[in-house]
Copies of this chain bind each other. A is one copy, B any other.
Amino acid sequence: MDKLKTKIIEEGRVLGSSVLKVDSFLNHQLDVAFLNEIGKEFKEVFKDKEITKILTAEVSGIAIAAIAGLHFQVPVVFAKKTQSLNLDKDTYEGEVYSYTKEQHFKIRVSRRYLSKEDKVLILDDFLANGEALKGLRDIVEAAGATLQGAGVVIEKGFQQGGDQLRSEGMDIRALATISSMEEGNITFR
């Protein structure tokens, strides 16, 4: 998606060797008009797949998935990272390791909102080591639902998650794939 690449080059900030900050439009401030174009693009990319539900993880997948949901015309469910009085006790669980927060944690979806009849599309902002997608796949499998594919806005192609998950059969599409990055220089595959 050319406009996405332009936006990453113009607004992205590279920190160290692996952190790309795109918080001007994707995961802190939200350029909602642009997220709407991203949602439309995901619908185009997955137009041949039957999708009954979009699954993402809090926090940074929510806005992307919600707006994409308008194009797919299906409900969106976001997996929760924290236990709270508001979450049902009866959940499907997945495990995720966060490299940015340097800790393992569980993500959970109430059993009310995913069933074996569902045909699920996973959406997220980034794919790097694939931890979030793995945790979300755990949840889809626990529900006995069918995983139809996964869409990510930005894939860090120089990290191993995408290759590994594709070799395990996950149909992953990235709207932009970065092959290398350093301060002032981002290269796309």
Contact = CB atoms under 8 A, between A and B. Distances in A.
Interface of A: 15, 19, 21, 23-24, 27-33, 35-36, 58-59, 62-63, 65-67, 69-70, 73-78, 80, 82, 84-88, 100-101, 109-110, 112-113
A123 to B, nearest CB: 12
Given A63-B63, A86-B19, A113 B28 contact: yes
Prevailing SS type, chain A contact patch? mixed
Contact of A78 (B28, B35, B70, B78): B28
B63 A110 contact: no
Contacts of A69: 30, 32
17 contacts: A21-B86, A23-B113, A28-B110, A28-B113, A29-B76, A30-B65, A30-B66, A30-B75, A31-B75, A32-B66, A33-B70, A35-B66, A36-B70, A62-B63, A85-B100, A85-B101, A86-B100
The 3 closest A-B pairs by CB, nearest first: A32-B69, A63-B66, A29-B113
B101 A84 contact: yes
A178 to B, nearest CB: 16
B77 A29 contact: yes
Contact of A76 (B59, B63, B110): B63
A65 B112 CA distance: 25
Contact of A100 (B28, B30, B84): B84
A28 B28 CA distance: 20
A43 to B, nearest CB: 13
Contact of A27 (B29, B63, B86): B86
A181 to B, nearest CB: 15
A86 B78 CA distance: 20
